[in-house]
Structure 1
Amino acid sequence: MSTCADRPETPRSDSRPGMLLALALAVLGYQLNATMLSPALPDVMHRLHTTSGLVGLSQTLFFLFAAIGQVTLARLSDYRGRKPMMLLGCFLVIAGDIACAAAPDIGVFLVGRVLQGFSAALFTLAFLTLDDTLSAKGFGRAAGIITAVNGGFAGVDAVFGGWLADTVGFRGIFLAGLVVSVAGTLAVYRTVPATPPTAKGRMDWRGTSLLAIGLTGVLIGLAQGESWGWLSVPTAICVLGGLASLVAFALAGRGARDTVIDTKLLVSRRAWPLLATTVLTLAGAFGALTLTVPLFTQDPQAGYGMSATHSALLFATPAQAIGVIGAPLAGILGPRIGWRRSVVLGSAGSLIAFVVAVPFMTHQWVFAAALAVLGITYNGLSITALNGLAVLSSPDDQKGALPGLNGACFGIGASLGTALASALITVAASGGAHGADRYGPALWASCGLLAVAMVTTVAIKAVPKGAAQPDGGRVAVPAMRG
């Protein structure tokens, strides 16, 4: 694999406030399209005279292309530079906001959601930009702030989205996001330095295509399996076809000069345990927090019978609010104790929180308190450290490869967790389970996934030690050698 070992070194510093604000605005512009729209989906269906299935498809496409965009733009930034790819991502968000705000029908709306989803790479590109320009201490602090922004504003953004939907309609959400995205684009253009590419050669478009097809098949199969039937022909075609494409991607990468991600890296303990931990952590925590817990707490027969607002305020907002503080703290902690140790602490803390929460799911305040701890362990430590470790574990000649693939694994894990939870709840209900037993199997499955994540976390190899750099502690990560 060709490298850019002779590229000029970018001056590093502990702090770049203007650049950090620009990156935060760019990431927020994307994130608002993920969090603010959820309560407005019924309004979309009403105003565009469409079906719940097509509205659901818009969400599936958004998260699907988020996974593809993470891999493609992050790796392409190695060859073209971070800033050009960030600006491309910003323009995609703007185009998507305009398309969705002005959509006369569901077709145009779907196109807008695809464009917005592809721009999810802004989060990974922000991490890569921080890695290119900041010292170890500065990277940790800034990474925590970006993670906090990417998690939303402590649930306030979702509440604001619901208010906009109730007053001016769903189009107001995209107009609000458009304002943030335009501001972020201008700020990126003015304040983000144009760092040189980190790799020479050409983008591996064959490998990228195989990886995109594989991710598409797996994610669509997981997202639609419940409605199509898990043993149906369409589900089997998507999942098995996607897995076959991923195998072909791995085989095609052997011996290739400029592959999307080096196979040697992929099978090393730098990568596969990290990717597995990301998938399992998201599958366990995300599936529970976004599906099982809301359904259980709002169920008048089997759960607490709360309203949607009451449930969100008691069981979602506390973890999100704590995460706004927890993520920056995790960013400070990472460089001091090591990013791998931060991942281990996050996994262990999340597992303990679920071990306490699930047996006491019928005790409202114990259940709520245990889930609130996830603001530190899951929203704070795990998410920040997994992203930070992916960046710092990548060899210098393919910096965008592992972070991009790790970003895609967030989507895979979220889809897997949601699909598994939905299936277990359905099976329990059809089997005649009563009360909390309808939701207990799904929560115990989440706990089990986090337990397996704890195992893969321990298998992660620490960031390789190299020659110290003159920026206060950063190290060069060597390329994989045969």
Structure 2
Amino acid sequence: MLPALALAVLGYQLNATMLSPALPDVMHRLHTTSGLVGLAQTLFFLFAAIGQVTLARLSDYRGRKPMMMLGCFLVIAGDIACAAAPDIGVFLAGRVLQGFSAALFTLAFLTLDDTLSAKGFGRAAGIITAVNGGFAGVDAVFGGRLADTVGFRGIFLAGLVVSVAGTIAVYRTVPATPPTATGRMDWRGTSLLALGLTGVLIGLAQGESWGWLSVPTAVCVLGGIGCLVLFALAGRGTRDAVIDTGLLVSRRAWPLLATTVLTLAGAFGALTLTVPLFTQDPQAGYGMSATHSALLFATPAQAIGVVGAPIAGILGPRIGWRRSVVIGSAGSLIAFAVAVPFMTHQWIFAAALAVLGITYNGLSVTALNGLAVLSSPAEQKGALPGLNGACFGIGASLGTALASALITVAASGGAHGADRYAPALWASGGLLAAAMVTTVVIRAVPKGAAEADGGRVTVPALHG
């Protein structure tokens, strides 16, 4: 079962990691603009957030395996659409389908929780997290190689092979577990949540190009926040709410969701935007090539994460998932506290960022996902993991937008050298410090929650 789940998750993940170096080739072959290619990426991560919430919660009513099969078919359809796309419109549709299938990650966690003991869940969750991080940076390099030789379509054909294999493996080996909830899906709440996430994420993604104080940005962000407020209000007293309001305001949920957003905003924004720009800047940074920068500042953390995530999965049940989150947050904060003051010292900077492979890619990401699954009430198992998965996308968008804005402001203000990028890195460190605060507020999974029924974790109903 575990290799099957890993293949299914990898089929989705390759669409997230392999395409980045091929974006210029997409522009050239589809005769489109950088704005529309950027929109394709925005839609991919936006629908990843929506898919996480929708399919995860729907699996409570329909079962994990049917929703996982649906996710696999969406990946395949998206791969075919993108590989054969005659224009940017079809390409955008394919990216939407691929993004929606991000729920495969959360569904894999839920399936593991349904079928394995608490100890087995921890080990397997670490492996799935490691796979979800890609091939230690090699996949991005491979994607660039495919783009240089056969073009971007080769990336989706390669992903299609993996996705088909994953679909067959899931169908043949993953057990069909019974639904965990009765009733019916709350489509009103789902729609409000989807509209809210759409507004906030598009506003954050496009704010730099539209202008942060422009009318379109304000409409998206404020409209999205308004829909999220309506979503919370609509959930009161609703028996089959997408996620119970009482759970949202409890210490099992809101500190966890806040920690996920803040952790991703701090680490993701720095690693995927600030660090690459700084290390490749010939005037203000090291003036490295893209390949050299990736090999020295991205690949080590990703490679260490492949080992760190399974270790975190083993430690989680032993020392507690909440404690794992605390250790991961503290370690990432210390790494940034060393990296930022020494950002002009290449090897110290690289070594400090490599530590994030253990603390961020390993402990934090694994433990946040594991804790979301284990903190959900039995009758709403898909609710909190799905919403937590969406918070990964929100945090990533927020961190990237904030870093981009701070770099632009520093450059326009005449900052020279490393000072052009230091404010963005300090802001990332500040977000991780805020995550450290919310981390300690998270309510731990109750002791003795692992029942005799297979050793699975059963969290009692809410008590305020």
TM-score using structure 2 length: 0.99
How far apart in 1 are the matches of 2:303 and 2:442?
Answer: 29
Q: Equivalents in 1 of 2:405, 2:61: separation in Å?
A: 42
Question: What is the CA deviation profile of residues 394-414 of structure 1, one whole-angstrom value per residue up to 9, with x for unaligned ones?
Answer: 000000000000000000000
CA-to-aligned-CA distance 1:120-150 (integer Å, 9 cap, x gap): 0000000000000000110000000000000
Partner residue of 1:147?
A: 129
Identity %: 93
Residue 471 of structure 1: how far off its partner (Å): 5.2
Question: For residues 189 and 473 of structure 1, do their structure 2 counterparts lie closer, same or farther at Cα, with a shift above 3 Å needed?
Answer: closer
Q: Is the 8 A contact 2:116 2:455 kept in 1?
A: no
Equivalent pair of 1:356/1:370 in contact (CA under 8 Å): yes
Rounded to whole Å, the distance in 1 between the matches of 2:380 and 2:86 is: 42
TM-aligned CA deviation for residue 288 of structure 1? 0.1
Instruction: Check the 8 A contact 2:106/2:389 in 1, yes or no.
Output: yes
* Contact 1:303–1:362 (CA under 8 A) maintained in structure 2: yes
- CA distance in structure 2 between the partners assigned to 1:322 and 1:110 by the alignment: 33
Question: Contact conserved, 1:27 with 1:150, CA < 8 A, in 2?
Answer: yes
Secondary structure of the corresponding residue to residue 463 of structure 1:
coil
Q: Would you say the 8 A contact 1:466–1:476 is kept in 2?
A: no
Using the TM superposition, give the Cα deviation of residue 73 of structure 1 relative to its aligned residue in structure 2, in angstroms: 0.1
Is the Cα contact below 8 Å between 2:114 and 2:456 reproduced in 1? no
| Equivalent residue number for residue 368 of structure 1 | 350
Partner of 1:3: none
Distance across 1 between alignment mates of 2:446 and 2:216: 43
Partners of 1:22 and 1:475 in 2: CA distance: 23
Asked whether the equivalents of residues 136 and 471 of structure 1 are also in contact (C-alpha less than 8 Å), the reply is no
Q: Does residue 217 of structure 1 match 2:194? A: no
How far has the Cα of 1:86 moved from its partner? 0.1
Whether the 8 Å CA contact 1:69–1:117 is kept in 2: the answer is yes
Cα distance in 1 for partners of 2:280, 2:448 equals 53
Alpha-carbon deviation of 1:282? 0.1
Q: Could you tell me how far 1:474 is from its partner in structure 2?
A: 3.7
2:47 counterpart SS class: helix
* Distance across 2 between alignment mates of 1:470 and 1:126: 22
Name the CA distance, whole Å, in 1 between partners of 2:150 and 2:323: 47
TM-superposed CA distance for 1:472, in Å, is: 6.6
The CA deviation at 1:473 is 4.7
Shift of 1:377: 0.2
1:417-454 C-alpha deviation (Å, 9 max, x unpaired): 00000000000000000000000000000000000000
Shift of 1:470: 1.9
| Distance in 1 of aligned mates of 2:356 and 2:190 | 34
Which runs of no fewer than 5 residues in structure 2 stay unpaired?
none
How big is the shift at 1:480? 2.0
CA apart distance, 1:57: 0.4
| Deviation of the 1:475 alpha carbon | 3.6
CA contact (8 A) 2:81 2:93 kept: yes
Q: Distance in 1 between matches of 2:257 and 2:419?
A: 32
User: Contact conserved, 1:465 with 1:477, CA < 8 A, in 2?
Assistant: no
Q: Which moved more, 1:467-476 or 1:222-231?
A: 467-476
Distance 1:149 1:216 in 2: 27
Task: Measure how far apart 1:478 and its partner are.
Answer: 1.2
Taking the aligned partners of 1:324 and 1:474, their CA distance within structure 2 comes to 25
CA gap of 1:467–1:175, structure 2 versus 1, over 3 A, is: closer
Kindly tell me the number of residue pairs found equivalent between the two proteins: 464
When residues 407 and 364 of structure 1 are mapped into structure 2, their CA distance, relative to the original with a 3 A threshold, is: same
Q: How far apart are 1:469 and its partner, in Å? A: 1.7
**How many angstroms apart in 2 are the aligned matches of 1:372 and 1:122?**
28
Cα distance in 1, alignment partners of residues 156 and 302 from structure 2: 22
CA contact (8 A) 1:465 1:475 kept: no
CA distance in 1, matches of 2:155, 2:225: 36
Query: By how many angstroms is 1:464 displaced?
Result: 2.4
Q: Name the structure 1 match of 2:460.
A: 478
Tell me by how many angstroms 1:467 deviates: 5.6
CA RMSD, aligned part only?
0.8
Gaps spanning 5+ residues in structure 1: where? 1-18
